[in-house]
């Protein structure tokens, strides 16, 4: 590559406009191989791509919800993230014990096996790539939170098998058609995402698992609404529309055709950009703590939220964390007011509640009536 780039935003822009060479059709040998369409080969949809990358960069954003009609690339984009995901320090223990637990709570804060390993000087963690864990629409509650293992024998105690929420710890949890999930599944996800841990009771067996995941969801609003409690768990909300420009639509068709002809060769054409962005995401995450929000920028963001009449404190949390991620992705350390403008639509849309606004106004009228009546009695 001849161009010199230093930031994630530069790489994203250049990769999206990259021209690809036509590829020959691949002979079908009948083998099944999961080769997902490259994230960087998606045409257009800049807001969606930016939101997903910012969420990888800064897990404190609390995830992304992609909302749009069928066939607009929502699922394709999320599955294409896998090669871009960075590394994390992961616990070697099925219960998620970490050295930090011992530092804050003593040796009794970890399980006996980890306490023994720690005493022997063995590491409790290992470096691993963040995984994309998918939550199937037909998943049962036992699949999600865990169930008794079927490997028990008269001489071996039954153990609780880890569920999807436990396997999603320090990973990306993707829920496609999230608005169609059953209430029991949604309730389990809400509890786990709020606490970062959850407990499973199965008869006499009890297990507590960590579940600190980044939640990504996608939905088609014409198929049903999303519960307000669940919507509130997504930091960024992206409206994914179909491509309007005929040239972009034709380019999307050409890329899809090339991918179907020979997925591996098509993927290879974007491998350099993929490797660069993954490396940049890894190093940029480490610089995130260095970013700051000047007072003037912070006050502008708070005033924006106040004028929009948004009550939830998650609004400024998401706005500022997304702005910090965008700033560091652009190679800077101080957030500008213009950075707020880039992320504000994603961070603040769908946070105002007409119902709550009417409810609060009605209650204000009632409170005035109470005070007026009370004052009249005292005259």
pLDDT tens digits for 310-326? 988 999 999 999 999 99
Find the mean pLDDT for residues 258-267.
Answer: 87
Find the mean pLDDT for residues 281-307.
Answer: 93
Find the mean pLDDT for residues 54-58.
Answer: 93
Q: Is the pLDDT of residue 379 over 80?
A: no
pLDDT tens digits for 143-168? 888 776 655 444 444 456 778 888 88
pLDDT at 301 (0 to 100): 96
Find the mean pLDDT for residues 257-279.
Answer: 87
For residues 333 and 360, the model is more confident at 333
Topology given in CATH for the domain delimited by 8-289:
Rossmann fold (3.40.50)
Find the mean pLDDT for residues 245-250.
Answer: 92
CATH 1.10.8.80 boundaries in the chain: 291-379
For residues 130 and 14, the model is more confident at 130
Q: How many residues make up the chain in this entry?
A: 379
Topology given in CATH for the domain delimited by 291-379:
Helicase, Ruva Protein; domain 3 (1.10.8)
pLDDT at 273 (0 to 100): 84
For residues 273 and 75, the model is more confident at 75
pLDDT at 150 (0 to 100): 54
pLDDT at 1 (0 to 100): 40
Query: What are the residue numbers of the active site?
Result: 314
Residue with tokens 């992206």: 238
Mean pLDDT for the chain?
84
Which of 70-79, 121-130, 147-156, 188-197 holds the top average pLDDT?
Answer: 70-79
pLDDT at 151 (0 to 100): 52
CATH 3.40.50.300 boundaries in the chain: 8-289
- In this prediction, residue 365 has a pLDDT band, given cuts at 50, 70 and 90, of confident
CB-based contacts of 129, cutoff 8 Å, min separation 6: 85, 86, 87, 88
Find the mean pLDDT for residues 304-315.
Answer: 92
Percent of the chain with pLDDT over 70: 87
In three-state form (DSSP H/G/I as H, E/B as E, the rest C), the secondary structure along the chain is CCCCCCCHHHHHHHHHCCCCCCCCCCCCCCCCCCCCCCHHHCCCCHHHHHHHHHHHHCHHHCCEEEECCCCCCHHHHHHCCHHHCCEEEEECCCCCCCHHHHHHHCHHHCCHHHHHHHHCCCCCEEEEECCEEECCCCCCHHHHHEEECCCCECCECCCEEECHHHHCCCCEEEEECHHHCCHHHHHHHHHHHHHCEEEEEECCEEEEEECCCEEEEEECHHHCCCCHHHHCCCCEEEECCCCCCHHHHHHHHHHHHHHHHCHHHHHHCCHHHHHHHHHHHHHHHHHHHHCECCHHHHHHHHHHHHHHCCCCCHHHHHHHHHHHHHHHHCCCCECCHHHHHHHHHHHHCCCCCHHHHHHHHHHHHHHHHHHHHHHHHHC
pLDDT tens digits for 188-230? 888 888 888 888 876 667 777 788 899 999 999 999 889 888 8
pLDDT at 22 (0 to 100): 54
Q: Is the pLDDT of residue 78 over 70?
A: yes
pLDDT at 2 (0 to 100): 42
């Amino acid at each position: 590559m001849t161009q010199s780039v230093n930031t994630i935003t530069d790489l994203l822009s250049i990769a999206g406009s990259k021209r690809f060479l036509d590829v020959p059709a691949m002979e079908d040998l009948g083998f099944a191989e999961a080769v997902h369409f490259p994230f960087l080969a998606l045409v257009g949809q800049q807001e969606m791509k930016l939101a997903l990358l910012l969420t990888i960069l800064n897990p404190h954003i609390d995830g992304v919800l992609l909302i749009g009609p069928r066939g607009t690339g929502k699922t394709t984009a999320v599955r294409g993230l896998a090669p871009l995901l960075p590394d994390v320090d992961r616990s070697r223990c099925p219960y998620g014990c970490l050295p930090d637990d011992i530092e804050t709570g003593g040796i009794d804060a970890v399980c006996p096996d980890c306490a023994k390993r720690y005493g022997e000087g063995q590491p409790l963690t290992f470096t691993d790539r963040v995984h994309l864990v998918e939550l199937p629409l037909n998943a049962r509650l036992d699949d999600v939170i865990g169930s008794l293992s079927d490997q028990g024998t008269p001489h071996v105690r039954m153990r609780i098998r880890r569920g999807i929420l436990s396997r999603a710890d320090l990973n990306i949890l993707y829920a496609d058609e999230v608005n169609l999930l059953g209430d029991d599944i949604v309730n389990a996800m809400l509890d786990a995402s709020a606490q970062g841990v959850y407990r499973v009771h199965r008869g006499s067996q009890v297990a507590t698992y960590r579940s600190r995941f980044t939640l990504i969801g996608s939905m088609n609003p014409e198929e049903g609404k999303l519960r307000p409690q669940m919507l509130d768990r997504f930091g960024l909300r992206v409206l994914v529309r179909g491509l309007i420009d005929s040239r972009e639509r034709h380019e999307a068709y050409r890329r899809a055709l090339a991918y179907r002809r020979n997925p591996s060769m098509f993927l290879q054409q974007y491998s350099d950009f993929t490797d660069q962005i993954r490396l940049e995401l890894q190093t940029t995450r480490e610089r995130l703590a260095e970013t700051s929000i000047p007072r003037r920028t912070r006050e502008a963001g708070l005033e924006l939220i106040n004028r929009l009449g948004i009550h939830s404190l998650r609004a400024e949390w998401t706005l500022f964390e997304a702005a910090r991620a965008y700033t560091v992705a652009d190679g800077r350390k101080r957030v500008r007011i213009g950075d707020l403008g880039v992320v504000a639509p994603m961070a603040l849309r769908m946070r105002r509640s007409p119902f709550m606004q009417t409810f609060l106004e009605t209650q204000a009228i009632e409170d005035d009536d109470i005070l007026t009546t009370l004052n009249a009695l005292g005259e």
